[in-house]
Chain A
Amino acid sequence: MSKTNDINWAAIDADPRFQALHRKKTLFLWGLMIFSTIYYFLLPIGAAYFQDLFKVKVWGVVNVGILFALSEFAVAWGIAVWYSIKANGQFDAMAQTIINDQK
């Protein structure tokens, strides 16, 4: 913590590389967050107001409702994997160049 005072935080914040990281991250995270929230709430809404659709049998007795509920799991895992690829590959590297300058 003693190092805190040696660092000019405002300067880093104004650094175009940090601004670029901030923009990329904000856009990506909000996009995923909004998509996942909408996709999740489609499940209770569909189960309540679109029961006829949920009851359609598509694979033996397996109906749209079951497939949709299972797809919620696939989508959640997909988002997790996508985010980690993006963060590991891009965000971490961008942050690292800023961190290196502080050493």
Chain B
Amino acid sequence: MHNLMKKFALLSFLLSSSSVFAAGGAVADEFKWMTFAVFGCIIAITMAITFWAARSTHSTSEFYAAGRSVSGIQNGWAIAGDYLSAASFLGIAGLISLYGYDGFMYSVGWLVAYITVLLVIAEPCRNIGKYTMGDILAFRNDPKKTKVVAALSTITVSTFYLTAQMVGGGVLIKTLIGIDYEISVIGVGILMLTYVVFGGMKATTWVQITKAVLLVMASLLLVAMVWAPYGFSLPDYLQAVVGDADVQKQVAKLLGDKSANMTPAELGQRFLEPGLFLKNPIDQISLGMALVLGTAGMPHILMRFFTVPTAQAARVSVIWAMGIIGGFYVLTLFLGTGAAMLVGAAKISSIDAGGNMAGPLLAQFLGGGENSMMGNFMLAFVAAVAFATIVAVVAGLVLASASAMAHDIYVGVIRGEKATPKEQVIAARVSSVIVGIIAIVVGIMAKGQNVAHLVALAFAVAASSNLPAVFLTLYWKKCNTTGIIGGMLVGSLTAIGLVMVSPNMTYPLAVAKAANKVLDGEPATLAKEAVPEKISSGFMCELFAMDGCQKAEPAKAAEAAKPAKPGTREKLLVLKAKLETVADATEKATLTAEMAKVQTANDKAEADLKKVEGQTTSIMGLEKPFFLLKNPGLISIPLGFLMVILGSLFTRDKRAEDMWDELYVRQNTGINAEQASVH
């Protein structure tokens, strides 16, 4: 097996370091060798870890749970490594760099989520469970039925999250260093499979720990460099942010006409106030519910608690994870505002509209800028950490789905718990390969698709399906099989169904309208009178677009007449004509640069228009969203809980009642909990 592993290692190394990259990306071509050297180093370290872990990964307990020999502190770092995905580590810094306060506010929910994990989930799960969420549910409910539903839910949640990671990762690596999308998806897939198949949970854990340590070190260094010039004083630093011309310009751009009467100081201060990005508080609360309850229902997070020897170690691991994750989000406040001030929102969003490049570009700036050796080294380092992040998170997810497939479905249901230990390990490895290949294929197929909502959807399904089932199984005596199955199906299907008709989907008419506005500009408008506030015709009207419904709208001030705005088509013609008359070289260069910018916007709008050509409705046959929130949690989470409760109240299940005493005593005392394997 080690021989095969070496071949895998060599192949993945070749894939990531060969010259199969197109020109482009944030790293200049002359410095790309450095990026590959840093990538190579990190891949070499993780391969060494896998080689070492593979030597002690033979039994099922070793493969799924690292022999339950991971210490609390180690597991805390691994949880942080598993949780700080590219979306949260690059995404939140990006949101702060573009929208200030709202980005920071968004990060809070991701930490608060761990309070639920700590107080109600981690220790009972360690005391009751073996390898999967299915084990916990099957303890007192009908084992076969609950294992099938639990496995399906685990695979659904993991696939959503996985697809978002794969697509996000592929795009990120292309933006950073210009490797082709398909090649980076395959590279991530092969690396992750190598860790999982050969090193199981032990290798995955240590890859996550390595990545978390690198990430925290990189962030501490960047924050120290950003903050030190202000003597580490918070007010002095934020004063500089508020006073920065780039920040003020960004706020003016976001506010549009509303900023006309604001002084530069007011504009800067606005960056530290809420409302630039998150406009719908009901949607906020809906997302908050999905985060706070969904994290505790995430299969790859639950699985981490089976790797420690005792419930006490599980407790220690959540506390360390909370320290690391929370500390990291506080650091992102400085990374984000630092990027807004030093790099500028215009440049950040020109490379990636979502702001994901804020952190990497800040690193490049602090190292000395685009053309410096150190700047590119730091960019390479942050890029490599981002790459390690994707691989580590994906490895955790693949392990979680593979365990659901092999342990719950194959061993638990198909073989009726009668598989030999050797068969179980083989099933685990085969399932990992299957899930890994599916992840690669789905990643490639989803190229260019809008997948941002998949992360939120994964959390919503976990919160509406997994969490009510696990929570009520652990804490409610009357809970039973019918309730669990009904609740999980209704919770997850409601969450998915609502997202399918939500604003997250692509609505061709809206896309075409936006694209035409870019291409053709806006016609002149007459002066508009002030519009009084519109009162909502009921709470349901805030959630669904129904006939006779009026959504609440704030009052609008009177507007002066506006002149027509030219579109990119017209702008291009004007610029072209101008270019022909200009002789001065520098002026020519500025004009050419501006033309290139307009051309990019023009091409993008035309591509969008082409994509939706001939379509008028979304894949669900809707012209505009029926469900008005982006996050379904507000409805699907209570519904999931309600169905578990109703299903349990209306049916009787003798086993569920008989096992209650044992479950409740065991989850509180840890008597008969799975022991750590002896080495």
Do the two chains belong together in a single complex? Answer: yes
Using CB atoms and an 8 Å cutoff, list the residues of chain A in contact with chain B: 1, 3-4, 7, 9-10, 12-13, 18, 21-22, 25, 29, 32-33, 36-37, 40-41, 43-45, 47-49, 51, 54-55, 57, 59-63, 65-66, 69-70, 72-73, 76-77, 79-81, 83-84, 87-88, 92, 95, 98-99, 102
Main secondary structure of the interface of B (DSSP, over half): helix
Contact of A4 among B101, B242, B318, B662 (CB under 8 A): B662
Please report the C-alpha to C-alpha distance between residue A86 and residue B116 in the assembled complex, in whole angstroms.
16
Name the A residues within 8 Å of B105 (CB-CB). Answer: 43-44, 47, 65, 69
Question: Do B274 and A48 have beta carbons less than 8 Å apart?
Answer: yes
Contact of B671 among A44, A73, A99 (CB under 8 A): A99
Question: Do B108 and A79 have beta carbons less than 8 Å apart?
Answer: no
B459 touches A (CB below 8 Å)? no
Nearest neighbor of B271 in chain A, beta-carbon distance: A61
Please report the C-alpha to C-alpha distance between residue A30 and residue B379 in the assembled complex, in whole angstroms.
46
Please report the C-alpha to C-alpha distance between residue A101 and residue B104 in the assembled complex, in whole angstroms.
50
Contact of B119 among A9, A32, A43, A54 (CB under 8 A): A32
Q: Known: A51-B274, A61-B235, A79-B115. Contact between A99 and B101, CB under 8 A?
A: no
Contact of B239 among A7, A60, A70, A92 (CB under 8 A): A60
Question: Do A99 and B288 have beta carbons less than 8 Å apart?
Answer: no
Please report the C-alpha to C-alpha distance between residue A50 and residue B601 in the assembled complex, in whole angstroms.
38
Question: Do A95 and B668 have beta carbons less than 8 Å apart?
Answer: yes
Question: Do B275 and A98 have beta carbons less than 8 Å apart?
Answer: no
Name the B residues within 8 Å of A9 (CB-CB). Answer: 661-662, 665-666
Please report the C-alpha to C-alpha distance between residue A35 and residue B661 in the assembled complex, in whole angstroms.
29
Question: Do A60 and B672 have beta carbons less than 8 Å apart?
Answer: no
Nearest neighbor of A50 in chain B, beta-carbon distance: B274
Please report the C-alpha to C-alpha distance between residue A92 and residue B315 in the assembled complex, in whole angstroms.
11
Contact of B111 among A18, A66, A73, A87 (CB under 8 A): A73
Q: Which of B183-191, B323-331, B423-431, B610-618 contacts A (4 or more CB under 8 A)?
A: B323-331
Question: Do B323 and A77 have beta carbons less than 8 Å apart?
Answer: yes
B269-292 residues with Cβ-Cβ distance < 8 A to A are: 269, 272-275, 278, 281, 284-285, 288, 292
Contact of A73 among B239, B330, B662, B672 (CB under 8 A): B330
Question: Do B238 and A62 have beta carbons less than 8 Å apart?
Answer: yes
Measured CB to CB, the closest approach of chain A to B329, in angstroms, equals: 7
Question: Do A77 and B322 have beta carbons less than 8 Å apart?
Answer: yes
Please report the C-alpha to C-alpha distance between residue A25 and residue B239 in the assembled complex, in whole angstroms.
46
Q: Known: A13-B661, A70-B330, A95-B668. Contact between A29 and B119, CB under 8 A?
A: yes
Question: Do A37 and B330 have beta carbons less than 8 Å apart?
Answer: no
Q: Known: A33-B116, A73-B329, A76-B322. Contact between A51 and B275, CB under 8 A?
A: yes
B234 touches A (CB below 8 Å)? yes
